[in-house]
Amino acid sequence: MSGIKYLLDTNIIIGLLERQPVVLELFSARQVKINECAYASITRIELLSFPAISFPEKQAIESVLARMVYLAITPAIEDETIAFRRVHKTKLPDSIIAATSRHARLELLTLDKKLADKL
């Protein structure tokens, strides 16, 4: 994964889509470029499975995701998720995202301070 530096948590992608100042400032301060980012498969599921999602929202999400690297759950990520969740007692989606970040050796960008503190 040459050139990929960051794994984006679901809340960061939502922040980008909504142009939240905290996320835009984070990207600016860290000089993060979208083509240096990846996302976990659980993030795609979280973003696109919202029951009230509109067609334009779905298109916007898919457009942003298309510019990043997709990281599927592998058996190694499953094992890391299990270990992480057992130790930290986090929600399953957060555990998958943290394990994906660790496994891929990518810095996790998240607005979830509790999750960030566990990495």
Using H for helix, E for strand and C for coil, what is the string for 54-69?
Answer: CHHHHHHHHHHHHCCE
DSSP 3-state of 22:
helix
Q: Give residue 1's pLDDT band: very low, low, confident or very high (50, 70, 90).
A: low
Rounded Cα gap, residues 46 and 73, in angstroms: 14
Structural domain of 78: 6-117
Question: For 22-54, what is each residue's pLDDT tens digit?
Answer: 999 999 999 999 999 999 999 999 999 989 999
pTM above 0.85, yes or no: yes
DSSP 3-state of 40:
strand
Question: For 94-115, what is each residue's pLDDT tens digit?
Answer: 999 999 999 999 999 999 988 8
H or E segment at 98?
Answer: helix 92-104
Domain presence at residue 36: yes
Identify the CA nearest to 101 among candidates 93, 46, 30: 93
Q: Give residue 117's pLDDT band: very low, low, confident or very high (50, 70, 90).
A: confident
Return the CATH number at 55: 3.40.50.1010
Question: For 54-86, what is each residue's pLDDT tens digit?
Answer: 999 999 999 999 999 999 999 999 999 999 999
Domain presence at residue 1: no
Number of domains in the chain: 1
